[in-house]
Amino acid sequence: MKRHSMDLTTGPVARQLLAFGLPLIINAAINLLYGIVDKSMLGIYVGDAAMAAASVSNSPFNLIYNLFSGVAVGALVCCGNYLGADDRGNLRRCMHTAMSTGFLLGLVVLIVGLPLSRPVLVALGTPEELLSDALLYFRIRFAGCPVTMLNAFTVSIMNAHGDTKRITLLGIGSGLLNVVLNFVFLLVIKLGVAGVALATLLSGLANLICKLAIMFSPKGEYQLRVSKLLPDFKHMGRLLAVGIPNGLNSAVFSFSNVLLQSTVNSFGTAVIAGSSAADSVIAISGLAYQGIPAATVATLSQCCGARNYDRIREVVRKALLVCHVFVDSMCVVCLIFAQPLLGLFTQSPEVVEAGTIKLIFYCGGYFIHNFGQIYVAAIKGLRRSTAAFLVNVFSVCVPRVLWVWFVVPLVPTPAMLYLIYPISWLISAAMLGITYHSCYRKCLRSAQEQMA
């Protein structure tokens, strides 16, 4: 493996998970800090209504975006398989195909998303006083989809190589640019929610340009060429076979969150703003999810390519341990300092109280969510994304839909709504655990039959 790549098929498992995952966690933490600055500036200098408008737009945007960007995990798994097998020819063709696929999917999301912006926000019951700002934010985010989608595929390719340190350095740089642009757009030009969306778009574009310079460098690990970017349909088929179920899996979670957000919207602006502020604090407690599951997918995909199946169970056990150490400790900190953290986003006691309620249910149940995060990552690494998708439909989406339709109307409070989070995580963790062990046994049996 070259200087910026990692061989994940041998060596101490816990050390490699941390070496791979920590840069991604640090990157996520720094970008989360930048996002907290953005949101607090929006809430304090523009108003709670502006912060609520941006929050209302995020859930439906993530639904459509995640449906397509989840396909990028197919690039991570396929490239990881070829790396593990040391098949450089197919690896190069797979990378070129992934890049062209990412750009095409970005165009599709742009074309689909812009006309649907207003109907989606209206269907979600967005309050009239928030609709104008929410629509503007929504449309600007969709305008940048080719950039964000191609970014997702370049990150997947780099993750497959274990090249997470450069991802982190570029993330820090783009995050700093995002903060500077927010100061300019919010405090100098006074663009409101449009300024936040434009800052996100332009900093993402700068990040992508740097990644493309690395990808197309003739002296680097990747050495991509513009002339080779036409997709190879064989590799596109493999990539989509893994990626589409993963995209649908991401969309299932996003759909359930959209449904829950539409119910949050019915409780008024203060609860919407409190929920938005709580989401940023929740993201602090779940920072490990930005690195350890990705490390699990990359490690298992390389191990499958190298036919090193004995290592897989140890990887999953160590990944669970690392997640518990990181996530559980951060949840305790966030619960202890809930009110000061929420106070970074708003000066309204009503908004802080609404955010605290959500925080209690989320952080109180995250120790259960650890199992679901790692098991679903392991299933993806074993190239069984369809199984993960089907499990999450019945363990996450269906219970949340039934809860919103039949339980919340009986006790229409935010606390009753948020209770479904730990309940659905518990169901999901149990079903995904059973599915992971079944998929592992099938992979092991298949490998033994091929060797016989």
Q: What is the pLDDT of residues 391-444, one digit of tens each?
A: 988 998 899 999 999 999 999 999 999 999 999 999 999 999 999 999 999 888
CA distance 139 to 116: 9
So what's the pLDDT on residue 106? 86
pTM, rounded to two decimals: 0.79
What pLDDT does 452 receive?
55
Write down the residue that tokens 């101490």 correspond to: 12
| Cβ count near 119 (within 10 Å) | 9
pLDDT the model gives residue 126: 77
- C-beta separation of 69 from 78 below 8 A: no
Buried b / exposed e over 53-92, threshold 16 CB at 10 Å, is bbbbbbbbbbbbbbbbbbbbbbbbbbbbbbbbbeeeebbb
Instruction: Tell me the domain boundaries of the chain.
Output: 13-443
> Tens of pLDDT along 35-49?
777 767 776 667 767
* Confidence at residue 435, expressed as pLDDT on a 0 to 100 scale: 95
Rounded (10°) CA dihedral 150, 155, 157, 162 = 170
pLDDT of residue 81: 85
Distance CA 126, CA 57 (A): 9
pLDDT score, position 131: 81
pLDDT at position 279 is 86
Residues of the chain with pLDDT under 50: 1
Cβ neighbourhood burial of 199 (10 Å; 0-12, 13-18, 19+): buried
Give the amino acid at 309: Y
If we measure between CA atoms, which residue out of 2, 383, 301 comes closest to residue 163? 2
Chain centroid, CA 209 distance in Å:
21
Q: By 3-state DSSP, what share of the chain in percent is helix, strand and coil, each rounded to 5?
A: 85, 0, 15
